[in-house]
Amino acid sequence: MLGDVRVEQSSGSNRMTVAEYLAAHAIAVKSVDRAQAAALGIEAPVPAGWQAAPEEQFPGATQVLVEPGLVEGGFAPNAVLLVGSLSTRIEADALLDCSFTDARAMSGWVEAEASSDPFGGHPSRFIRGTFVAEQWELAVTTRYIVVQSETQYLVQLTVTTFADHADKLAFDIDAINTGLLHTI
């Protein structure tokens, strides 16, 4: 964990992205809908003021939350949960190590925290930082988890806000991230 240390990361990493790793190992990922994910104990809690977007609005996403009270320039703070069943069992840490590559490749990435600690008893990676998209500086947290059961599931939860809203939404961001898994 880097704590308060801010480290500028270069985008020139030798590691594969998650998508590259899955492709290189011929692993298919089948999207899991919200009801199936909830039955597995995987669900992003909805903080006060946030709304769940209709499932049909974001095909392939398990759950999308938005905070409509802080929309600027057409962008709303959001949380996107993706859950997919893996076609083949994998070595979780090898796949999860690729997750940091995805974040660190974003334009203007400044890392605030990175962790390889398990989450809910499952292998996990967590990264927090800021990046630049078009004219906006955005703050993001992303957690990847490989849920170990008879079938393995790859879980990705990404919460994105304007960087200058991160402190204002810190409680909500934490609630979404820490409340992700239950009853597993």
Query: What digits encode the pLDDT tens for the residues 134-165?
Result: 889 999 999 999 998 889 999 999 999 999 99
- Other beta carbons less than 10 A from residue 177's beta carbon: 19
Q: Report the domain count for the chain.
A: 1
Query: What digits encode the pLDDT tens for the residues 19-66?
Result: 999 999 999 999 999 999 999 999 999 999 999 999 889 989 999 999
Is residue 169, in this structure, part of any structural domain at all? yes
Predicted confidence (pLDDT) at residue 13 exceeds the cutoff of 80: no
Is residue 2, in this structure, part of any structural domain at all? no
Q: Could you tell me which of 48, 47, 42 has the C-alpha nearest to residue 62?
A: 42
Residues 105, 12: Cα–Cα separation, whole Å: 8
To 5 degrees, how large is the angle CA 34–CA 36–CA 38? 65
- The whole domain housing 141 covers 7-178
Element (H, E) at 52: strand 51-52
Is residue 119, in this structure, part of any structural domain at all? yes
Is residue 128, in this structure, part of any structural domain at all? yes
Sign of CA dihedral 17, 23, 42, 79: positive
- Other beta carbons less than 10 A from residue 29's beta carbon: 17
Mean of the per-residue pLDDT values of the chain: 89
The answer to whether the beta carbons of residues 10 and 103 sit under 8 Å apart is no
Q: Could you tell me which of 10, 23, 16, 6 has the C-alpha nearest to residue 105?
A: 10
CATH code for position 61: 3.40.1000.10
Is residue 184, in this structure, part of any structural domain at all? no
Q: Which residue has the tokens 């977007």?
A: 53
Residues 69, 63: Cα–Cα separation, whole Å: 19
pLDDT at 14: 53
Is residue 57, in this structure, part of any structural domain at all? yes
Q: How confident is the model at residue 182 (pLDDT cuts 50, 70, 90)?
A: confident
